[in-house]
Every structure is written in structure tokens, then in C-alpha cells.
């Protein structure tokens, strides 16, 4: 369950997406930001649930899971301080398509949907930013779908560890084989074999649920191309205007 803390007046935003909102808009949003903290495994919103807030991680990492009628679920996207969960609710539907859980505990701020909806209607800058981010997040979902279908469990686990390692900023990761199997949509034995192979290769150290990345370049080499493709897409979105959100006569989001 989320714990509400008093509003914080922080000049520099740890969340990169909120930090890229222009100053005038940010000044209107900031009084409505509440800091919350969730525990590992907490459900932020269930699939089909009504979203009352959008969430901006500032150290917390969120996992979006697609849930089937059988109850089985698989991760299709990861969100860290580069983005947000719930922006679709500010643009169109307030019902969450995915289950959103906490993959890494840490600070996160939230904002009521009505506030963001007002800014989305009022500001062309906010519309461009939210839509462009949503397109970038969708590209991660599409790449993850292809990865889950086409690549080995070991490659997928490398990709997942790299994405989580980026957002954890190098901290030791604490995950059980069962948790990783659920996230990757496979069985515990496959995760155990993959972890053993990666540890034997000197890529990671794994002991009692604690995963430490020992050889980052080696882990990137052992991963499929999906990590690099998603990383480059988000880097481009968060880079200076020459390669990020653009307004040109040829259309939105073109490079110049």
C-alpha cells in the first residue's frame, strides 16, 4: 500500500520526464505532486482498475504486466525515473490495461489525473511530450513482445537485468528465481539454469536472491539486441531537442 508523505517543494526533479516539462507548466503541477513509497511487489494498479493518479518514479522501478484470463501474467514494459505510469489516463482512458507492480522499491511522486488532464488540454507542449513518451513506451512493449517470442530465456534475462540495473543505478538487485520466472513468463527451472550459466561466465554473482552485475559489457554482449534498441529509443526521447520532440511542417517527432 502506498504511504502518503507531505508535499515536497523540490527544485530539481529526479524524474526525467517531469523535469523536461517546461517551467510554467511545472509550476502549476508541482503543488499537486505527492511523494509516495511502495514496497517490492506492491500492486500500484490492477489490470482493469481505475487510475486516480499518474506516477513518476524517482528511484522506484515499476513493471507493467499483461494479465490473461487464466491469471498468468508476463512483463511487457519497465518504467523508471525516465518516465511515468498513468499518462494514458490523462490523455484518454482512466482504466489501466496492465497490472502495475513495484519491481524495485524507492521514492515516487504522484499527481491526480484531473490536474494532468487539464494541462494536457491547455498546453501543446504537454500534449507533444505525453504522446511522444507514450509512443516511446509502446516501442518498448512491442520490442518486449518480440523478445519474449524469439529469444532464449538467458538472453531475455540479460536484457531484463540490464534494464533494471540501469534504473537501479548499479545497486544490488534482490529477486528470487520465482519472481524472475513470473516476470519473464517462464518456469523457475529455466531461470535457475540461465542464472547458473551467467554466473559461471562471470557476468553476475547470485546468492540467496541477491544479484550483483560483475561484468556489465559482458552482460550487454550476452543479451539480445532488444536491450540496445529500447535503450537507444529512450535516449533519443530524453536527448536535446535536435533528436527529441519536434514540431515541423513534416509532422511531430521528426529529427532535424
For 210-246, how does the pLDDT look when each residue is reduced to its tens digit (9 = 90+)?
A: 899 999 999 999 999 999 999 999 988 887 544 444 4
Please state the domain extents for the chain.
3-127, 152-223
Which pLDDT band holds residue 4 (cuts at 50, 70, 90)? very low
Predicted TM-score of the model (pTM): 0.84
Question: What CATH class does 152-223 carry?
Answer: mainly alpha
Q: Annotate 57-112 with three-state secondary structure.
A: ECCCEEEEEEECCCCCEEEEEEECCCCCECHHHHHCCCECCCEEEEEECEEEEEEE
From the options 2.60.120.10, 3.40.50.300, 3.40.720.10, 3.20.20.10, give the CATH code of 3-127. Answer: 2.60.120.10
Shared fold status for 3-127 and 152-223: no
Instruction: Provide the 3-class DSSP secondary structure of residue 255.
Output: coil
For 142-170, how does the pLDDT look when each residue is reduced to its tens digit (9 = 90+)?
A: 999 999 999 999 999 999 999 999 988 76
**Residue 161 zone, left/alpha/beta (φ > 0; ψ -120 to 50; rest):** alpha
Residues whose CB falls within 8 Å of the CB of residue 252, separated by 6 or more in sequence, listed in order: 128, 131, 132, 245, 246
Which pLDDT band holds residue 93 (cuts at 50, 70, 90)? confident
Average pLDDT of the chain is 86
Amino acid at each position: 500500500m502506498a504511504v502518503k508523505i507531505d508535499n515536497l517543494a523540490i527544485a530539481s526533479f529526479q524524474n526525467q520526464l517531469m523535469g523536461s516539462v517546461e517551467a510554467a507548466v511545472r509550476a502549476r503541477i508541482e503543488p499537486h505532486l505527492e511523494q509516495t513509497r511502495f514496497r517490492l511487489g506492491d500492486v500500484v494498479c490492477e489490470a482493469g482498475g481505475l487510475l486516480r493518479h499518474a506516477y513518476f518514479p524517482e528511484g522506484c522501478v515499476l513493471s507493467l504486466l499483461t494479465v490473461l484470463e487464466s491469471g498468468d501474467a508476463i512483463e511487457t514494459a519497465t518504467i523508471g525515473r525516465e518516465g511515468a505510469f498513468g499518462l494514458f489516463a490523462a490523455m484518454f482512458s482512466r482504466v489501466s490495461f496492465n497490472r502495475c507492480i513495484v519491481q524495485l522499491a524507492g521514492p515516487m511522486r504522484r499527481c491526480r489525473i484531473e490536474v494532468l488532464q487539464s494541462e494536457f488540454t491547455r498546453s501543446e507542449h504537454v500534449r507533444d511530450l505525453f504522446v511522444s513518451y507514450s509512443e516511446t513506451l509502446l516501442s518498448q512493449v512491442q520490442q518486449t513482445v518480440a523478445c519474449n517470442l524469439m529469444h532464449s530465456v538467458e538472453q531475455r534475462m540479460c536484457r531484463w537485468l540490464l534494464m533494471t540495473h540501469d534504473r537501479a543505478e548499479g545497486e544490488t538487485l534482490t529477486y528470487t528465481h520465482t519472481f524472475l520466472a513470473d516476470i519473464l513468463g517462464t518456469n523457475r527451472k529455466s531461470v535457475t539454469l540461465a542464472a547458473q550459466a551467467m554466473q559461471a561466465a562471470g557476468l553476475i554473482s547470485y546468492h540467496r536472491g541477491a544479484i550483483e552485475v560483475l561484468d556489465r559489457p559482458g552482460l550487454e554482449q550476452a543479451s539480445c539486441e532488444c536491450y540496445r534498441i529500447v535503450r537507444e529509443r529512450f535516449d533519443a526521447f530524453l536527448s536535446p531537442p535536435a533528436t527529441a520532440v519536434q514540431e515541423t511542417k513534416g509532422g511531430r517527432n521528426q529529427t532535424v
